[in-house]
Amino acid sequence: MTKRTAAITAVGGYVPDFKLTNKVLETMVDTNDEWITSRTGIKERRILKQEGAGTSFLAIKAAEDLIAKRGLNPEEIDMVLLATATPDLPVAATAAFVASEIGAVNAFSYDLQAACSSFLFGMSTAASYIESGRYKKVLLIGADKMSSIIDYTDRTTCIIFGDGAGAVLFEPNEEGLGLQDEYLRTDGVGRQFLKIDAGGSILPASKETVENKQHYVYQDGKTVFKFAVSNMADVSAEIMKRNNLSHEDVDWLVPHQANKRIIDATANRMGVDHDKVMMNIQHYGNTTSATLPLLLFDYESQLKKGDNLIFAAFGGGFTWGSIYLKWAYSK
């Protein structure tokens, strides 16, 4: 009997209309287009301006896009997983609200948080539910409203992040397509380098934490950069090695979009040509949980059934890893 694999069978995406360009950032903080472009590769990012709209707004739009394109009856969805570092509310699962709003009334749902690796780890979770035979349709959404946790007077972080969402559907596959292998890692040494100090259980919100701007993302960029470069390249090279993949066998590298220099270093280490590297950081910046599905959304028309995709991500915690997936359909 062939093993039941878990394949991605549909993709959706959404970014808000408002573009925050490098030129506009030049008027907000002491920075310039040349610095941002050469150090990060980012030209603009999208920001959700609508009052009262949180991450669920983005997630719902991406899910609705997938549902419409695929002609899916949302009542058939068994499970909704929302990968996010910016839930609507601290306690109530944002995924539950998203599932209800998209009409996934027969699904159960929850949020999954592993910083910038949330979606990658979510792929592992979603695929496991399918491979086990427990569920047949798992909707995995990666969504983040990063603008809600960014200090727009801090030039070291406000130039990097943007808002967005992407969604994929995982279903069983009998041809051996879909997720082939994963190599997922974490190291708690990382939490001092990329974090939000207040608002969690260690330091609950207070007048002081607000005054001290402790509810915004803090990043020791240089240190995170060093860890990201070596670890993303290591896991990507390792997953190729243990699956006997040469650079010619890899059709696409699907890397987390944190910094073009990290992406280039990962591709170089893998020996993969740059025209096989998915990249949209110039348009969206770092959308945290949404980077990987937004790449699939933008590149979907170029993907062919049987293509070998290597996903790689690195994020706060630290959390990082790589996934090898065979694409299951041609457009």
Residues near ligand UT7, by CB under 6 A: 31, 35, 39-40, 116, 155-156, 159, 221-222, 224-225, 228, 258-259, 262, 286, 314-315
> Nearest to ligand UT7 by Cβ — which residue?
221
Output 318 or 327, the one with its CB closest to ligand UT7.
Answer: 318
Closest distance of CB 93 from ligand UT7, Å: 23
Task: Report residue 148 CA to chain centroid gap.
Answer: 17
Output 97 or 311, the one with its CB closest to ligand UT7.
Answer: 311
Output 259 or 266, the one with its CB closest to ligand UT7.
Answer: 259
Closest distance of CB 121 from ligand UT7, Å: 14
Output 74 or 315, the one with its CB closest to ligand UT7.
Answer: 315
Which stretch of DSSP H or E encloses residue 225?
A: helix 221-242
Closest CA to 120 of 260, 259, 267, 309: 309
Strand-pairing partners, residue 51, are none
Place of tokens 């100090």: 197
Report the C-alpha gap between 166 and 81 in whole angstroms. Answer: 12
The token pair at 94 is: 């944002």
DSSP code string of 109-176: EEEE-BTBTHHHHHHHHHHHHHHTTS-S-EEEEEEEEGGGG--TT-HHHHTTB-EEEEEEEEEEESSS
Closest distance of CB 190 from ligand UT7, Å: 9
Closest distance of CB 195 from ligand UT7, Å: 11
Output 100 or 230, the one with its CB closest to ligand UT7.
Answer: 230
Closest distance of CB 220 from ligand UT7, Å: 8
Place of tokens 């490098």: 22
Output 56 or 319, the one with its CB closest to ligand UT7.
Answer: 319
Report the C-alpha gap between 134 and 189 in whole angstroms. Answer: 35
Phi, psi of 290 (to 5 degrees): -95, -5
Cα-based distances in Å from 279 to 16, 102, 125, 144, 297 = 19, 29, 25, 18, 11
Report the C-alpha gap between 57 and 325 in whole angstroms. Answer: 29
Place of tokens 């739009």: 61
Closest distance of CB 124 from ligand UT7, Å: 18
The token pair at 140 is: 């995995």
**Residue at 45: amino acid letter:** R
Report the catalytic residues: 116, 256, 286
